Amino acid sequence: MKKRGVLASVIIVSFLLFWIEYPNTSISGMRPDADAGLELDTIRSNLGNIAKMKVEDARGYYEKALRDLNALIEEYPGTEEAQEALFYVGATHNEIGNFEKAIECFDTILKQGEITDNFKARLLYFKAKALLEIGEVEEAKEVVTELKVIEPRAANSFGRELSGRVRLGMEAPDINVLDYEGKPVSVSQYRGKVVVLDFWATWSDHCLQEYPKVKNLHRMYKDQGVQFIGISLDDNIEDLKSFVGTQQVEWPQVFEGMRWKGKVSKLFSIEKIPVMFVIDQEGKIRFIGGDKTKVSKVIEQLLSKHEGSPSY
């Protein structure tokens, strides 16, 4: 993993563990509940242990934590513990890549009453992380500016992420590389088509679980002016070749061989996989994320805008 990715992961875990160890929730008009507090302490302790694991290994544990947190929120509505639990729901969604859901959780709390600085700092920090993951750099900058007033150390940790990161609406960096079979691949060669870049690896269980959905997307759109390009972060090219052959993958696959240190991964600021970039017919990034349903919706929108245009 590249240094920036390591640093970001360390920062996330360190801040998450800090705020797990020192909870400080206070929202005007909400009451504490002793029973809810005991349940939340148990969940918080479990989250502290899960945060030290690799995301691909911890996904099942995170999903169980989400069920437990939502059960607590339903059982103890209107309590401080329920609002604290909602924060952890958002933070957990961040960890497993559900960034839009995470932002919804944080915004729900931020709109309710007066919040202590400690709790607000947590909300702003993780909201900024989620916004950056979906490419909303300008909004993330606003959140970080607000965070800096409360917790400068947390705000300063974003640094480079707010400067050179790829984001929605910008022209996609071009790639001029060879696929694993030695054939040239670039984004610019498909100008006029919708391009879907799929960053993945066979060592990621989550990627393997999602791959049938990727194949379904390709089957749906391959004849409609949509070009898929896989960017493999595998360590061994034989792992990629074996998977492509077994699964009969039909679209180009670029083998980086360096995980996050690869040329294309650096260009697109990759820190988590699987992640897809949808690039429109003019070469601009229109979607960043892992939700295949949203990928399909964006592709449909881009294709519909170009109906009646000359064939590709």
Residue with tokens 């360390």: 10
Give the number of other Cβ atoms within 10 Å of residue 181's Cβ.
11
Using the predicted structure, report yes or no on whether residue 58 has a pLDDT greater than 70: yes
177-305 CATH choice from 3.60.20.10, 3.40.50.300, 3.40.30.10, 3.40.640.10: 3.40.30.10
Query: Among residues 78, 76, 77, 73, which one has the least CA distance to residue 90?
Result: 73
Distances (CA, A) of 194 to 203, 207, 228, 297, 303: 28, 22, 9, 13, 8
Work out the percent of the chain whose per-residue pLDDT is above 70: 85
**CA dihedral sign, ordered 27, 63, 3, 286:** negative
Query: Among residues 87, 85, 108, 78, which one has the least CA distance to residue 38?
Result: 85
Sequence letter at residue 251: W
User: What residue ranges do the domains of the chain occupy?
Assistant: 3-162, 177-305
pLDDT of residue 99: 87
Using the predicted structure, report yes or no on whether residue 157 has a pLDDT greater than 50: yes
Binning pLDDT at 50, 70 and 90, where does residue 13 land?
A: very low
CB 253 within 8 A of CB 179: yes
Q: What is the pLDDT of residues 224-258, one digit of tens each?
A: 999 999 999 999 999 999 999 998 999 999 998 88
Residue with tokens 């206070």: 26
pLDDT of residue 130: 87
Using the predicted structure, report yes or no on whether residue 110 has a pLDDT greater than 80: yes
CB 115 within 8 A of CB 134: no
Average pLDDT on 194-216 reads: 93
3-162 CATH choice from 1.25.40.10, 1.20.1430.10, 2.40.50.220, 1.10.10.60: 1.25.40.10
Q: Considering the chain, what is the average pLDDT of its residues?
A: 83
**CA dihedral sign, ordered 287, 130, 155, 123:** positive
For every residue of 163-230, DSSP letters joined together read TS---TTSBPPP--EE-TTS-EE-SGGGTTSEEEEEEE-TT-HHHHHHHHHHHHHHHHHTTTTEEEEE
pTM of structure: 0.53
Binning pLDDT at 50, 70 and 90, where does residue 35 land?
A: very high
Using the predicted structure, report yes or no on whether residue 161 has a pLDDT greater than 70: no
